Amino acid sequence: MAHDGDALTWQDAGKVDEYVERVGRLAARAAGDAELVESLPAVVDRVLDLGCGDGRLLEVALRARPAATTAVGLDNSPPMIERARQRFQGDDRVRISHHDLRHDLPALGRFDVVVSGFAIHHLDHERKRALFREVAAVLRPGGVFANLEVVRCATPALQDEFYRRIERPGGDPEDVLAGVDEQLAWMRDAALVDVDCYWRWRGFALLVGRAADVRSGSSASV
């Protein structure tokens, strides 16, 4: 079934407005955010959000780790960037920058946490894989990549049911969905450790991995 917003893209305020209002009402979204907080390291100084949208996930992370000094959000949607900048107006810790994730990450230094919320599934699979390698490279030892994502369901019927339950019948034409297992494999290929799906509700999943802590040589501190 076609959706009213099918012709729109993330560059359009209409799609952004519809998304922010709808997803803000979803209990499963709030549950995913809460699980993401559980995956954060105890101490976080610098956090990066890929496809930050209106900044919701950055705010969740900053509320959970208020001692953080730096938060960077990247997105390529002007209306989303505008919303995120409004959200963090006056907060000197936060910088929201225009960046197209189809291209290499800009030089931003290293991070304790890289988060992403429902964004990376808009990239083609090869770019997803490359981005996971870039994420691993910008994480400090022991740093965490927490990717709250839209993933492919096991069958077309389950996919349809998921889209119905998130009030997006037929799905988003901009989705390029991958399954959980293949994405976990790509994260391991990127040299992340302790990689797993920490939480799942239908087509929402929290995929988490960690940069090995070279100081301890350990991969088992979660």
Ligand X SMILES: C[S@@+](CC[C@H](N)C(=O)[O-])C[C@H]1O[C@@H](n2cnc3c(N)ncnc32)[C@H](O)[C@@H]1O
Give the binding range for ligand X (CB under 6 A) out of 72-80, 85-93, 157-165, 194-202: 72-80
Residue 78 beta carbon to ligand X: minimum distance, rounded to whole angstroms: 9
Which string of b and e fits 23-59 if b means at least 16 CB within 10 Å?
beeeebbeebbebbbebbbeebebbbbbbbbbbbbbb
| Phi/psi-derived region of residue 65, left when phi > 0, alpha when psi is between -120 and 50, beta in every other case | beta
Token duo for residue 7? 């012709």
Q: Does 118 bind ligand X (CB under 6 A)?
A: yes
Inter-residue contact 200 to 190 (CB < 8 Å): no
Q: Does 15 bind ligand X (CB under 6 A)?
A: no
Q: Does 126 bind ligand X (CB under 6 A)?
A: no
Q: Which of 57, 71, 131, 193 binds ligand X (CB under 6 A)?
A: 57
Token duo for residue 32? 């995913």
CB neighbours (10 Å) of residue 173?
12
Q: Which of 119, 139, 166, 205 binds ligand X (CB under 6 A)?
A: 119
Q: Does 52 bind ligand X (CB under 6 A)?
A: yes
Residue 76 beta carbon to ligand X: minimum distance, rounded to whole angstroms: 4
Residues that bind ligand X (CB under 6 A): 10, 19, 23, 51-53, 56-57, 75-77, 80, 100-102, 117-119, 122
